[in-house]
A and B are shown apart, each in its own frame.
Chain A
C-alpha cells in the first residue's frame, strides 16, 4: 500500500544546533504510529515540519503523493494534516461558554483534539495530548483516539506516557538527538538497548 505520509531525509537546524538530521519515515493509511524520544530529541520539531509550523531545510515531505514541504500550514491542513498542540490553545473568544463549562485539564485536551478534528483531517498528529493527566483520564483520551482511528484517520501519537504509546501504537519510532535510533513494534522497542540507553542514560 502506498504511504500516506513520507518523510525523506528531513533536516532542521536552529543556529548551530541540529534538531533533526536526515530523518526518514513512512506512515501507512490508517496506521497508529507512535513517536517517542527523550526531551529535546526532535519529536516536536519533526511534527512542526510535517504540519508546516516550521520549514525543513532539506529533504522532502510527501503527503498522499504530493510534495507539501513548501506549502503554508493552512494549506497542509486543508489537504488533511491536522495537529493538536502540546499546550492546549483553545480559541478563547469563540468558546467563552465552553471554557467556562470545561474547567478540567482532560476536557481542555479533548477540546484541543476536537479543534484539530474540526478540519476533518486524514492525518491527526496528537502532540502530548495526555501529559499530566491521571490514569483514568489517559484512558478517556486513548478511547477517543482509538475511535477516530476506527473511522479511518491515521494517527501519529507523540507521548511521554509509555504505557499509553505502547497500548496505542502499532509501530513506534524512537528519536534521540535528531536521529531515528530505533523502529519497531512496541515490544521490540522496550527491549531495544539503544532506547533504554537514550532514556536511562545507562
Chain B
C-alpha cells in the first residue's frame, strides 16, 4: 500500500470512556449503554436535542465524531464507515414491534434507523458535510477495505479528507473508533498503523 496519506487524529468510545488521540475527554463508571450516552452528551455536546431521537448506533457515531471534529473546519470530507452488526441492534427492536397482529406497532421513527448508514447521515447533518459516503459490513475490524477505498477517494480528489470509522452496537456491547485521513498528519496511513491505533487502549 502507498503511504502518501496520514492519519490526522482519532477518537475512541468504549467501556464508558471517550478519548481523542489517546487522551481521555470523558469517563464514567456507568456501564449500561444508555446512561453512558446520556452522561457523555451532557458533558460534551451543546444543545442538540435531536440526539435523543437517534438510535444507539447513531448516538455512538455522533459522539465519537463530535469530539473528533470539534476543531475541524474542512467540510470537504468523505465518510467510510464499517461495523459488524449493521443496524441489527435497532432491527431486533423493530421486529419485536411487528411480531404478531395483537402486538403490531411498527413505528416510522424506529424503522428509519434500521439502516446502518443513517449514522453517517446524522453526522453529515450535524457538521454540514456534503460528501461521499459508504458503509461496509464485515465480521471484525479490518483496516484493509477501508484503506484501499480511502486511498482511491483521495487519489481521485473526491475529497480532501476522509473520516473512517468502525462503529458497532450489538447486544449491549458498543465500540467506536474514528480517524481522519488527510495529506498531512501524525501517523502514516498504513494498515499496521491503523490496526495499532484501533487496539490502542485509552491511556
A interacts with B? no
